[in-house]
Amino acid sequence: MSLTLRQMRENCQQAREAMQRAREQSFALGAFNIDNQETLIAIARAAKAKNAPLMVEVSQGEVDALGLDNVRDMVDNYKQEYGVEMYINLDHSPTVAAAIAGIEAGYEFIHIDISQARKDATLDEIIAETRQIVDYARLTGAMVESEPHYFGGSSNLHTEKIDYNEIKKTFSTVEGTRSFVEATGVDTFAAAIGNLHGKYPVPKKLDIDLLREIRSAINCNISLHGGSGTPGHYFVEAVKVGVTKVNINSDMRVAYRKTLEQVLEQNKSEYAVVKLMDEVIEAVQGVVESKIDMFNATDKARP
């Protein structure tokens, strides 16, 4: 069921208040991708168990599979069923049109990512198209996130090691960050400090000193993409510095697939797979709960 414009604006105002609480109370909202209903249930149950605010997020591939409006309806259904504080983030929206569709569907958070969708896009193009979404988001009050650079990796289980010499070439700079935020008016800046998409055979290393410099240079929210496979102490430090949103995907996908493979192997004669999903949901829920603790978001849900 479609939300009214008033409902969208109320939801977006609550989302803005949640991010403000995160700044004031030094915690971050986890932004957790869903591939299907089972991962959504796991996220909702984790939010309930930890009494934590969080985001459900979908990128374009997941939107294509599940449907933009259907995701809105499913999240609202489980938000009501479990009585949790849960918002939706449209992650890595590749075009202005796709981002506008997310705003019109009532998503509270919109990430417009021109640099990943068009790697040859100029900085002026990225700024101009991001600015279009910032302006259009005033319709509902949705919070807009973006960055002027391409994030490496992909949301998968990688076998190659991380080439930090290459990754450092894409790090955010203090002056570049300040200029981008001032030129676009974004609500959230996606910082690149060693984070990259996917899970790798070696732990990721974040430049917390650079993060501190970025935090001092801008007044908007700061997010970290590519949180999977990152040692927890980096999250603890990043949240203290002022990060208020962290994206998690691959850690959940690995837990989902490995647990499902084990359950299927143990139940070879059962073809009603829906009956085998309890352990899978529990495994993904465990991942989400552990991240919530790292983000200092336990017991931070709206009263």
Give the single-character DSSP code of 170. G
> Kind and range of the H or E element at 87?
strand 86-93
Tokens of 130: 């991001």
3-state DSSP assignment of residue 260: helix
**φ/ψ of residue 27, rounded to 5:** -140, 170
Q: Show the tokens assigned to 80.
A: 């009501």
How far is Cα 116 from Cα 98, in angstroms, rounded to an integer?
Answer: 14
- In Å, what is the CA distance from 247 to each residue of 58, 70, 277? 11, 21, 24
Residue 182, number of CB atoms within 10 A of its CB = 11
For this structure, is 76 an active site residue? no
Both tokens assigned to 144: 């807009």
Phi, psi of 240 (to 5 degrees): -65, -35
How many angstroms separate the CA atoms of 143 and 128, rounded?
A: 17
Cα 303 to Cα 281: distance, rounded to the nearest angstrom? 27
3-state secondary structure of 153: strand
Residue 106 and residue 140 in contact, taking contact as beta carbons nearer than 8 Å:
yes
Distance CA 185, CA 182 (A): 6
Marked catalytic residue, from 35, 64, 76, 91: 91
Q: Could you identify the residue written with the tokens 């988001």?
A: 137
Q: What residues act catalytically? A: 91
